[in-house]
Structure 1
Amino acid sequence: MTEWNTENSSCPDPVDAAADHPVFHPVLFADVLSSPLLPEPTVVTGDVTAARDVTNVAVMVLPDIGPWLRPGQLLITSTTVLSRLVGPASDFVAMLDRRGAAALAVRLDDASPLPEGLAAAAASLAFPVVTITADHSADSPFADGLPEMAARQIDAVFRADHTRRVLLDIVMGGDGHAALADGVARELDGAVLITTPDGRQICGAGDESALHRLAASAAIDSTGRFRTDSTEGGLGLHRLGGDHLAVSAIWANGIDHGRLVLFSPARSLTSEDLYLVEQAATVCALVVDRELAVSAVEEKHRANFVRDLLLGRGGKPEHVIAHAKTFGWDLDRPVVVVAVEPDLVGDDTASAPARLPVVERQARAFTGAVTSRDPGAAVTVLATEIVVLMGQGSDTMTVVHEFVAQVRGAGGGGRQPFSVGVSRASASVADLPALYAQARTAVQVGRRISGTWAVTHFDDLGVYRLLSLVEDTDELESFARETLRELAEDTAEAQDMRRTLEVLLATNINIAEAARQLHFHYNTLRYRVAKLEKLLGSFTAHPELRLDLSLALKIIAMRGINS
């Protein structure tokens, strides 16, 4: 088991894995190699003297060894088992190294060679691989518990086969995640959560008191998300005080679609439990595949309809309203358009699990958050953005901030930043194209002014609304540079002086108030005013120049000049 890493919460205790996996004080790999444990070892790759210290020994009798892997582990297997690996041998070695294993010992069955690519991959990682001519010695003290471990792995295979059969019957019956969660909870004897990759809960099952206990634990953040912001997405075995968790990814078509979580307040979970959870997750992936296939067709029709509306070619208002009702949307009321666009901060890194495009992941999150507050709202993906058509009310912006906070969560878990723009309310569905333009303007200008995670209403843009209508952006930037002169440069001094000028203009050249806001001495600010007037002209005496300077500062803020 591993320690659970969380942000802004008290971390659960590290796990003493002795009951699940025998461990001992660190021993040099060279000393293990010279012990009676491994018969006639031959070093294939790696520097024995530079290898990680060995703290535990494990056997691998089935290819899915992941649940039994531990840091500092000497893993013993055979070419027969390695020949059954599903993926490339190079990926297997990379996993061992990533998980902190010390070395791999392989018994050569019938003189069978190592799998293709294994030795080369190990050599590139300087990961030690040795071959042996027979089974490990049962008399060695390092072999303590290995026969029992092999037996548990084999037993887990039979238990997993039974569990898969039960869950497949549920899937074949047409049921979805809720029924699957119930089946997993019964088969594995614990409380179960199924979540998205970033931890939003899709459904739960099992004992209610256990679910409440899990909800109050450090595994769930303040917004109700399951924490996936620890190493490798929170996967593996974890301990929360006296409670235990087993977490597996739900993979479908090579894409990470979520987490299957088993929680047990009554018993310690072992590597075998984690293996069963991983196998159950493969059945959950079948439901994901099925639901994705159906929703892809439905979403295409919804997106095409919304796109036509926003382009002004939806047809007569009465036809639009009637068609929207077939999707469950209520457009026969004042509506605001909310545009959500992911911020460009570099989405998934090459080392991260493969996921759906960020805009699709965020669309799923917004669908749940928005429709729980407004069941008649429309949420759809248009290329690289999400568009929400929701009812207008006296507290529209409060509702927007609430569902944005729900989607954003408490941080971590791979949540990607996004910006939000909100339009005015419609008088008719014929207004939607203009409102969409307002929402897009609010997104783009709000991001330039406030940075990532901006939530901006069109009416809050002020003069930025007018500046955003100027199509010749080169002319705007030219005006800003000509007006601000040296202050438009990309230097720390220029930025500092622009800040001084901005506060002076905002306080209507009230030097005492500006000095207080800037934390300057009064005489220091008077010196700065003199310096600014030498650069820019006598703006303290000319209102027209102050207007030009104010506009130039806003152009720089909006267009991101030198930012």
Structure 2
Amino acid sequence: MKLVIPLRNILNVSLLDGAEVLAGHGGLDRGIVSVNVMEVPDIVEWVRPGELLLTTAYTFSDDPAALERLIPQLKEKDVCGLGIKTHRYISEVPKSAIELANILDFPIIRIPQDVPYGELIKEIFNHIIGEQTRLLSRINDFNHTVREIMLRHGGMQEIVEQIYQATGAPVMIRDDIFRDHYCFCPDQEKEAQIENDIQKLMAMPSDKGDYTTPNNRYQHVTMVESGLSRYTIPIYFDNTYYGNIFIWDTEGSLRPQDLFVIESTSTLIALDILNRTTLVERENVHQTTFLEQLLSEDPKEQQKAIDSADYYRFNPELPSQIVALVMNREERLQMTANNSKMI
């Protein structure tokens, strides 16, 4: 996970007070990691993903159509946007270039003419570093909170409530190992907006998607029936998939930074599920041993089972008891951590 700052945040720096987004508004949430200046035609060979390119448009002064040819190339290189000064070498950004940038969601930002690029680059870098520092602090604080919950065995429901406190958005954790769901949304109006979607998610079979490679570990956005955005954050650890965190943006206020904070806890949540799985597996081993001793023809082995009967809720004083055995090996079944049900 990279601590990436959305391009739209850069518009808040003081030197960009008079800046104007000419095109590509849909791409303003793309991450910015650095800034570069473009005044040569072969800049495409040197750009890096996440760069914001600044230009005086000198390169396009004799051939304004070159900008239209350049935009798809920059998009393909994952450049986050283009900051351009007009009225010096070109009077306006060509309409065809703006239309293309809108189609590609590639941001074009008009930079005020009197802004020195050197000062702007310095201010942008300072802003990026400051935002990353604040985001890292949020991540550390939230991870500490989740670890404290785990250490005192507070449970997954308490983690869900903390995610709601951090985002103000309805949230659900789906544990595909124990086939459990944990939801939290104290706001009845918000809950009504997502109720149908929650029911569908709870009825869905476990996700068998491939989350074994880093390229597949992403935040996926789905537009649900109510028109809201639902963010899905996979829960994984050591190339093993455990479930999902679902967050509904009921107020349209969730920022990429909020999702970074929640995504950072997915490994901790996976470890919590893994720990409970380990406990269940150990219990299964002990239960198997108990049954083998109880059904043994050796009186000494049977006595061992009787001596430990209380641990397995087995009463040797009763005339008869029933033990249910699941024989279908094609289906992976086990008891939940509290022995309340078989999964």
Q: CA deviation at 1:279?
A: 0.9
Superposition map of 1:73-222 within 5 A: 102-104=76-78, 138-139=83-84, 142-144=106-108, 154=132, 156-197=135-176, 200-207=179-186, 209=188, 210-211=190-191, 213-217=193-197, 220-221=199-200
Check conservation: 1:58, 1:75, Cα contact below 8 A: no
1:285–1:318 Cα change, 3 Å: same
Tell me which amino acid in the other structure corresponds to 1:194: I
1:339 to 324, 327, 333: 327
Check conservation: 2:164, 2:171, Cα contact below 8 A: yes
Structure 1 stretch 205-214 or stretch 252-261: which is displaced more?
A: 205-214
Q: 1:152, 1:199 → 2: CA distance? A: 41
Question: Is the partner of 2:321 in helix, strand or coil?
Answer: coil
Query: Which residue does 1:21 correspond to in 2?
Result: 27
1:42 to 45, 59, 73: 45
1:288–1:338 Cα change, 3 Å: closer
1:244 to 220, 224, 229: 229
Tell me which amino acid in the other structure corresponds to 2:256: S
Check conservation: 1:193, 1:205, Cα contact below 8 A: yes
Check conservation: 1:199, 1:227, Cα contact below 8 A: no
Query: Which residue does 2:88 correspond to in 1?
Result: none
Query: Which residue does 1:257 correspond to in 2?
Result: 242
Q: CA deviation at 1:198?
A: 7.1
Which of the pair has more CA radius of gyration? 1
Show CA shifts across 1:450-497 (max 9, x none).
xxxxxxxxxxxxxxxxxxxxxxxxxxxxxxxxxxxxxxxxxxxxxxxx
1:215–1:200 Cα change, 3 Å: farther
Q: Which runs of 5+ in 2 are unaligned?
A: 1-23, 30-37, 53-70, 86-97, 99-105, 111-123, 211-215
Check conservation: 1:159, 1:276, Cα contact below 8 A: yes
Show CA shifts across 1:170-206 (max 9, x none).
3344433222222122112222222224793342233
Q: 2:282, 2:301 → 1: CA distance? A: 25
Q: 2:309, 2:235 → 1: CA distance? A: 33
1:234–1:252 Cα change, 3 Å: closer
1:363 aligns with 2:333: yes
Q: 2:321, 2:261 → 1: CA distance? A: 50
Show CA shifts across 1:374-425 (max 9, x none).
x6xxx6xxxxxxxxxxxxxxxxxxxxxxxxxxx7xxxxxxxxxxxxxxxxxx
Check conservation: 1:194, 1:204, Cα contact below 8 A: yes
Q: Which runs of 5+ in 1 are unaligned?
A: 1-17, 24-34, 45-56, 61-72, 77-100, 106-134, 343-358, 380-406, 408-563
1:338–1:102 Cα change, 3 Å: same
Q: 2:260, 2:237 → 1: CA distance? A: 18
Question: Is the partner of 2:221 in helix, strand or coil?
Answer: strand
1:297–1:200 Cα change, 3 Å: closer
Question: Is the partner of 2:173 in helix, strand or coil?
Answer: strand
User: RMSD of the alignment, in Å?
Assistant: 4.9
Q: Which TM-score applies when normalising by structure 2?
A: 0.53
% identity of equivalent residues:
12
Check conservation: 2:237, 2:270, Cα contact below 8 A: yes
Query: Which residue does 1:279 correspond to in 2?
Result: 264
Q: CA deviation at 1:281?
A: 1.4
Question: Is the partner of 1:341 in helix, strand or coil?
Answer: coil
1:136–1:253 Cα change, 3 Å: closer
Check conservation: 2:294, 2:306, Cα contact below 8 A: no
Q: CA deviation at 1:227?
A: 6.9
Q: 1:212, 1:277 → 2: CA distance? A: 23
Tell me which amino acid in the other structure corresponds to 2:239: G
Tell me which amino acid in the other structure corresponds to 2:139: A
Tell me which amino acid in the other structure corresponds to 1:139: I
Q: 2:178, 2:323 → 1: CA distance? A: 31
Q: 2:327, 2:257 → 1: CA distance? A: 46
Q: 1:326, 1:139 → 2: CA distance? A: 73
2:288 to 303, 308, 315: 303
Q: CA deviation at 1:247?
A: 1.8
Give the length in aligned residue pairs. 249
Larger relative CO (CA 8 A, sep 6+): 1 or 2? 2
Q: CA deviation at 1:104?
A: 4.9
Q: 1:242, 1:176 → 2: CA distance? A: 32
Q: CA deviation at 1:290?
A: 3.8
Question: Is the partner of 2:200 in helix, strand or coil?
Answer: coil
Show CA shifts across 1:210-267 (max 9, x none).
45654421x5438634774678699522221332222222223332222222233233
Tell me which amino acid in the other structure corresponds to 1:183: Q
Q: 2:309, 2:272 → 1: CA distance? A: 28
Q: Which TM-score applies when normalising by structure 1?
A: 0.35
Superposition map of 1:335-484 within 5 A: 335-342=323-330, 362-364=332-334, 367=335
Q: CA deviation at 1:316?
A: 7.6
